């Protein structure tokens, strides 16, 4: 039933082709949208295409590495494989892909910890050293500006205000622009919305 719906919906099929995921079995969320012939499928395809292809401030490799990071963060293997393969085609190295995974993992620790500190607003929690090792932040393979942008995008998805504010300031200090930050966060939001449908 799901495969038949997929074939019938040309827009969704084109989206999957663009993502280079031909062997997709629709999730219950995707199936619901396909059965209802939801107009949102067209919106989703346009949104995904825009953030991956119609970019002004990110280059193609950066866009794909950010998309890969979101797929890692959301633990969605199908898009992890697709975005990592496309990032390699765009020039990403194995060291860069590994650093995306490491950064995403570190942000998951930091986002929880610093969100807790922010919520509690207690002197003890705020002043006690975190003791979380973060050596990968010192001299990243990805370069400091992009590493900070990656950290900001994941922190935005994970909802840590302190981390978002800190990484935004760091990006600007390292020569990044608000336009690039905006484009990166928008990409993260759209890929997260894609995973909500596909997973």
Residue 199 token pair: 């997973």
Quote the CA–CA distance of 122 and 2 in Å, as a whole number. Answer: 51
Q: Which residues are catalytic?
A: 160, 163
Question: Within the chain, where are the H helices?
Answer: 2-8, 10-19, 28-35, 40-53, 60-73, 77-89, 94-120, 123-127, 144-158, 161-173, 178-198
Residue 186: helix, strand or coil by DSSP?
A: helix
For the four alpha carbons of 165, 168, 174 and 177, in that order, the dihedral sign comes to negative
């Amino acid at each position: 039933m799901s495969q038949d719906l997929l074939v019938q919906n040309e827009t969704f099929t084109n989206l999957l082709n663009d993502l280079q995921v031909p062997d997709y079995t629709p999730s219950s969320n995707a199936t619901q949208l396909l059965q209802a012939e939801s107009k949102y499928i067209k919106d989703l395809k346009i949104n995904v295409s825009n953030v991956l292809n119609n970019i002004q401030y990110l280059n193609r490799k950066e866009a794909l590495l950010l998309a890969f990071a979101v797929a890692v963060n959301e633990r969605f293997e199908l898009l992890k494989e697709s975005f990592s393969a496309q990032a390699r085609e765009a020039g990403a190295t194995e060291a860069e892909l590994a650093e995306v995974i490491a950064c995403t993992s570190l942000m998951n620790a930091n986002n929880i910890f610093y969100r807790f500190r922010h919520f509690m607003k207690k002197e003890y929690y705020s002043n006690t050293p975190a003791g979380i090792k973060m050596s990968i932040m010192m001299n990243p393979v990805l370069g400091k500006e992009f590493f900070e942008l990656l950290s900001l995008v994941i922190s935005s998805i994970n909802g840590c205000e302190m981390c978002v504010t800190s990484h935004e300031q760091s990006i600007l200090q390292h020569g990044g622009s608000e336009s690039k930050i905006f484009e990166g966060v928008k990409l993260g939001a759209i890929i997260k919305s894609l995973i909500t449908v596909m997973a």
